[in-house]
Structure 1
Amino acid sequence: MTKHRTADADELLNAVGPAFGKLRRSSLLDVENPISQKDLSRTLVLNIVLEAEQAEADQPREITVGAIAAHLGADPSVASRMVSDSISAGYLIRAASQQDGRRTVLHLSPEGRELMARFRRHQRDAFESITADWSEAERLEFARLMLKYVAAQDALRARGER
Structure 2
Amino acid sequence: MAPRQKTAGLLDAVGPAFSRLRRSVLLDVENPVPAKDLTRTLVLNIVEDGADGEVTVGVVAERLAVDPSVASRMVTDCIGAGYLVRAASQRDGRRTVLRLSPEGAATLERFRQHQRVAFEYITRDWPEQERLEFARLLLKYVDAIDALRAPA
Instruction: Report the TM-score when normalising by structure 1.
Output: 0.89
- Structure 1 gap ranges (5+): none
Q: 2:58 aligns with which of 44, 66, 84?
A: 66
- Could you tell me whether the CA contact under 8 Å between 2:61 and 2:68 is conserved in 1? yes
**Secondary structure of the corresponding residue to residue 95 of structure 1:** strand
Structure 1 counterpart of 2:41, from 43, 59, 80 = 43
Provide closer, same or farther for how the CA distance between residues 17 and 116 of structure 1 changes in structure 2, counting only shifts above 3 A.
same
1:27-63 Cα offsets, whole Å, 9 max, x none, are 50443432111001100000001111xx7xxxx3310
Q: Which amino acid aligns with 1:139?
A: R
Question: What does residue 106 of structure 1 align with?
Answer: 98
Q: Name 2:26's counterpart in structure 1.
A: 28
Go from structure 1 to structure 2 and tell me whether the alpha carbon gap of 1:37 and 1:109 turns closer, same or farther (over 3 Å shift).
same
Q: 1:138 to 1:27 in 2, by over 3 A?
A: closer
2-structure distance, mates of 1:61, 1:82: 19
Q: 2:139 corresponds to which residue?
A: 147
Give CA-to-partner distance per residue, 1:56-110, whole Å, 9 cap, x none. Answer: xxxx331000000011111000000000000001100011111100000000001
- Give SS of 2:86's match: strand
Q: Could you tell me how far apart the structure 2 residues matched to 1:150 and 1:127 are? A: 16
Three-state SS of the structure 2 residue aligned to 1:74 is coil
Counterpart of 1:81 in structure 2: which amino acid? R
Q: Which amino acid aligns with 2:29?
A: V
Aligned-partner Cα distance in 2 for 1:4–1:124: 37
The 1:36–1:27 alpha-carbon spacing in structure 2 relative to 1, beyond 3 Å, is farther
TM-score (norm 2): 0.95
* Equivalences for residues 74-85 of structure 1 within 5 A: 74-85=66-77
Please name the residue that 1:10 is paired with.
8
- The number of residue pairs the alignment matches comes to 152
**Whole-Å separation in 1 of the counterparts to 2:40 and 2:141:** 24
- The equivalent position to 1:125 in structure 2, one of 117, 128, 151, is 117
Over the aligned positions, Cα root-mean-square deviation in angstroms equals 1.4
Q: Percent identity?
A: 66
2:25–2:118 contact (8 Å) kept in structure 1: no
